[in-house]
Chains A and B, each alone.
Chain A
Amino acid sequence: MALIKNEAVKFKHKHLLGIQSLSIPEVNYILTEAENFVEFNRKEQKKLNLLNGKTQINLFFESSTRTLSSFELAGKRLGADVMNMNVSNSSMKKGETLIDTAMTLNAMNPDVLIIRHQDSGAANLLSQKVNCSVINAGDGWREHPTQALLDALTIKLKKGKIEGLKVCICGDIMHSRVARSNIYLLNMLGAEVRVVAPATLMPKDVESLGVKSFTNMSEGLKGSDIVMMLRLQTERMQGSYVPSTREYYEFFGLDYKKITKAHPKAIIMHPGPMNRGVEIDTTLADDINRSVIKEQVEMGVAVRMACLKIICGNKNK
């Protein structure tokens, strides 16, 4: 076990708000910890007491299935008491501000708050106002650090490395926190990152984040080792950003024809939930030789366990 060696790495953060604030050793520390949990999670007995007596609150302002259940399971497997706040039915609807909600929860002395919010920067704001640790489970279009970490872990386990790989992220880059966190993380770990999107869904000056951008999918896919597809939200399909689902699929949907441009052994990833037939061919999505979408979900629990363990066990905070 690499655990002992890992303890020597200083993880100096109280919160996990984004990939941007992490260093390479810190990322590797999380990934190595997570790798251990992958093994552990496959065992029949998967309960630890690392977070015994700790309280974890999942504060989700946006609906979520997989991230919420992944964090809940991660906390429970580590022994924490986990509470899910269903914010859509709560006082936020009655006009209470994010800060007020945070202060209320803070008064209940949790050890870690997991927050998802529709506004970029919400996790940062929250972290300034509460005493406990905050883990960002997605803020607006800005960051979704645990998703990027689980993607990195998936790539690492599938390809044995990240450095030097060509990663092509395709889809609605503009509105995607997953894309941003992945760009930061994969760049940091030495991958060559490309982004593919119609011009209307490409963020301005995206190349200054250190990526190459393409509006032609075949060019972007050329020689890629990893193809990461993003979800296109329904409300953006009908003429506001792209003319139609049909046209989008024609030019930006991943199918067996387009994937031939990528490396023959390229793997396909998707953060979910998928729009089958919009951004990805349904058979291709289920192709076990190509798609690692299910593995990503499995890695998600492991990565979140690692993050919780490190953040909650961090005595430097």
Chain B
Amino acid sequence: MKEKCLVNSRIIDPKNNIDEVGGILIDSKGKIKAIGKKVTKDSVSKETEVIDCKNKISIPGIVDLRVFVGEPGYEYKENFRTLSEAALSGGVTSVATMPNTSPVIDNVSILDFVKRRAKDKSTIKINPFATLTKGLEGKEMSEFGLLQIVGAVGFTDGIKCVQSNRVMDKIFNYSKSLDTLIVQFTQDNELSLDGSVNEGIVSTRLGLKGIPDIAEKIIIERDLSLLEKYKNRYHISTLSSKASIPVIENYKKKGLKFTAGVSINNLSLNENDIGDFRTFLKLSPPLKKEEDRLSLIEAVNNEIIDVIVSDHKPEDEESKRLPFQQATTGASGVETLLSLALELHHNKKVKLNTIIKALTSNPANILKIDAGHLSVGSSADITVFDIEKPWVLKKENIKSKSKNTAIEGRRMQGKVEKTFVDGVLLFNS
């Protein structure tokens, strides 16, 4: 591979405190050789391929902490190849994949299969999660140690939450010595039983069972109590409600170390967008009130929330063309994660640096993977975007195998132009 150099770009790398106009020199092995304002067209050798990125912003390739891929079992919804194409067009170069496959990723052989499939088919970096409990049943803990050896970056039941206090206590206690990352989807099953939207005026008007705020808060309070006792690596996958934020804030103030994420959907949409039963907006956690959305945005800006995820959950039409109660949850979103997140910058709600941090170095730190930064010697996973470019999402342009976007027709500002993985240009608009 020829050396290449991105020049004239505004480079933002929160981890290395870089925000300046300059260049990034990529060596023949796909590593970053030099970075900064001293890297210009004239500073590099004649053989170097120069890519002018004037008026564009270069950031570390996005690390998406919550992505569902259909392999194995749901290849008709998404496979590693289609996921890669979708992710690259959204500037995402590393993803953490959820274990809610069929069969579920709860043992070494399935994880090994997934790792090999990913290696063969994926052009982005796949970091697989395994389940917290065997068969996602919430009863017995998975083989954390063995699965970590094979390459599980962390453990979560994905769309499910471990209910039993006893099981959760044992998980925290046992996995502590293994430095295991525990990621919880925080929602009490009984309080959210049969719920398909937020509990409030929308559930009342649509005649649907609502999911109350307390369903999230009560699990967060339980888990943080346990965490206080055991002090593991712990991450809340997708925060949705305003009521949970003070709980997190208080524990963080007390010095407890943990992190929290939020789905871009909950930052960009609210329950009113569901209208008359738009099943593409049936999400989990559900869309909440506008005041919840605004509080979540504020929490991102205050860095109480550490990570923004796409919560990319491809679903085929058949699982959505049902009465709302029966329709499956989730929306495709890896392609629009950055563009939607940039809305928060354009609306002056969140500092750009904070947004980039929540999309790159923070998730990488949580996973303890070498990604999300542009240090010399590290892999050249780079996303170049035009922060001003207006565009409208059209269903037919979606690259993911499933077209279940929650934001069809939305006008956005800011679009990915180029995505590099290990120095190779894999997406070019």
Contacts and interface: CB of A to CB of B under 8 A. Distances in A.
Mostly, the A contact residues are mixed
Interface residues of A, number: 23
A140 B206 CA distance: 9
Given A125-B277, A204-B199, A209 B323 contact: no
A92 to B, nearest CB: 12
B201 A205 contact: yes
B139 to A, nearest CB: 25
Interface in A110-131: 117, 119-122, 124-125
A203 interface: yes
Interface string A165-209: 000000000000100100000000000000000000001111011
Contact of A205 (B200, B276, B321, B324): B200
A206 B200 CA distance: 8
Interface in B181-198: none
A140 B321 contact: no
B201 A143 contact: no
Contacts of B255: none
Contacts of A91: none
Interface in B178-237: 199-201, 203-208, 210, 212
B207 A98 contact: no
B101 interface: no
B201 A121 contact: no
Given A121-B276, A124-B276, A125-B277, A205 B204 contact: yes
Given A142-B206, A205-B201, A124 B277 contact: yes
Mostly, the B contact residues are loop
A117 to B, nearest CB: 7
A203 B324 CA distance: 18
B326 interface: yes
A142 B324 CA distance: 12
Nearest to B318: A97
Of A119, A121, A177, A180, the most chain B CB neighbours within 10 A belong to A121
B322 interface: yes
A99 interface: yes
B203 A119 contact: no
Given A142-B207, A180-B207, A204-B210, A98 B200 contact: no
A204 B201 CA distance: 6
A125 B323 CA distance: 7
A140 B201 CA distance: 16
Interface in A53-70: none
Contacts of B204: 180, 203-206, 208-209
Contacts of B321: 97, 99, 125
A143 B200 contact: no
A119 B199 CA distance: 17
Contacts of B206: 120-121, 142
A208 B200 CA distance: 10
Nearest to B325: A119
A35 interface: no
Contacts of A122: 323
Interface string A222-237: 0000000000000000
Contact of A121 (B200, B277, B318): B277
B323 A117 contact: yes
A98 B326 CA distance: 11
B325 A140 contact: yes
Nearest to B203: A204
Interface of A: 97-99, 117, 119-122, 124-125, 139-143, 177, 180, 203-206, 208-209
24 contacts: A98-B323, A99-B321, A99-B322, A119-B324, A119-B325, A119-B326, A120-B207, A120-B325, A121-B325, A125-B277, A125-B321, A125-B323, A139-B207, A140-B208, A141-B208, A143-B207, A180-B207, A203-B203, A203-B204, A204-B201, A204-B203, A205-B201, A206-B204, A209-B205
Closest 5 CB pairs of A and B: A142-B207, A119-B323, A141-B207, A121-B277, A120-B207
